[in-house]
Structure 1
């Protein structure tokens, strides 16, 4: 069982969606992740939302013209996503067992986004495997963009990995760090409890 399932019991989709709807209604900007992805990937690029949850990021990227696929292990979250955007491809799968060849579409992804503390909420010990499997979905030169908390002030659980750990997993998967930000609005990372990391696949 992953740490997300331990926290929620796999039944949190409606509550999660309601919380973000309330934030949107309050005037909060809900599209920072999608905006950064759009700044990094050319229009129309193929995007994998890894740990897509209720689909907030992916639905916005699809509205911006990206060719998106969403993957999540939590059926309750995917039920919300499918209700909100039934025309988009939503796949229930464990990222630690993700088979790139089984995903909808015939081509590799230009960008994989993992928002929402995905890497801190995996089953302990699977982080390197998940990075490897996500890297395997990328086309040459494609990007893996991941944002997650690094301390208990920015996470609902104790942190499982450090940035050094994550960079090592990415390096082992053939990915190179190109940028690191403190937020999804691309403020430079100068230390602190949250980071958004951009790693690039080799060109070939």
Structure 2
């Protein structure tokens, strides 16, 4: 199943890589901690784990996970974002692919990841109607016992687009893909989820 245009493409035109990277570079220069997602994920897996960054963008999360010693692979639809990632870390494996049609075998990727992370509002920015297919394809690349970790906004205050998926819908898609909810947090610092507008969900295969 290949998607139509994703909400991300509609929002950015697929040309926002340098602008996106510059925004995060400015945040880093201001002293903001940019590694919460990587710390969160690294705490869930053993040293040297295989991690897929699904919707890796400019590579901020994956590059940090690789620095922490994990075996990382990045996949994103937006070539402008991947160009930034490849420039920053040319030795890491970056692939252009639509997550709704993600076929690791076609890319030469072994489907036995310990963890798949979808940070950066990946699910709300998918093409409408593909959320279940993406959950299925990401679940399929996990080894038994592997984890899918997704953090995304649930309201307009936490998204650059109108909300498109609820936690109940996301959990249903994950359940249909053979995944079970393990835990849910309000932030990448593992603050307890209180029903607010952003959630980090951990599902287990």
Which among 55, 58, 67 is matched to residue 59 of structure 2? 55
Name the structure 2 match of 1:83.
87
Consecutive unaligned residues of structure 2, counting only runs of 5 or more, are none
Question: Contact conserved, 1:69 with 1:104, CA < 8 A, in 2?
Answer: no
Cα distance, 1:102 vs structure 2: 2.9
Which among 175, 181, 193 is matched to residue 177 of structure 1? 181
Name the structure 1 match of 2:112.
108
How far apart, CA to CA, are the structure 1 residues paired with 2:127 and 2:59? Answer: 21
Name the structure 2 match of 1:155.
159
Cα distance, 1:104 vs structure 2: 4.3
Structure 2 residue 142 is matched with structure 1 residue 142:
no
How far apart, CA to CA, are the structure 2 residues paired with 1:27 and 1:126? Answer: 37
Aligned residues: 201
How far apart, CA to CA, are the structure 2 residues paired with 1:106 and 1:136? Answer: 11
How far apart, CA to CA, are the structure 1 residues paired with 2:134 and 2:109? Answer: 20
Task: Provide TM-score, normalisation by structure 2.
Answer: 0.97
SS in 1 for 2:187: coil
Structure 2 residue 57 is matched with structure 1 residue 29:
no
1:111-130 equivalences in 2 (<5 Å): 111-130=115-134
Cα distance, 1:42 vs structure 2: 0.9
How far apart, CA to CA, are the structure 2 residues paired with 1:65 and 1:87? Answer: 14
Cα distance, 1:106 vs structure 2: 3.3
Question: Contact conserved, 2:104 with 2:110, CA < 8 A, in 1?
Answer: no
How far apart, CA to CA, are the structure 2 residues paired with 1:104 and 1:33? Answer: 26
Task: Provide TM-score, normalisation by structure 1.
Answer: 0.97
SS in 2 for 1:195: strand
With over 3 angstroms needed to count, the CA separation of the structure-2 counterparts of 1:169 and 1:18, relative to structure 1, is same
Cα distance, 1:131 vs structure 2: 0.2
Question: Contact conserved, 2:111 with 2:140, CA < 8 A, in 1?
Answer: no
How far apart, CA to CA, are the structure 1 residues paired with 2:187 and 2:111? Answer: 30
Question: Contact conserved, 1:37 with 1:113, CA < 8 A, in 2?
Answer: yes
Which among 23, 29, 37 is matched to residue 19 of structure 1? 23
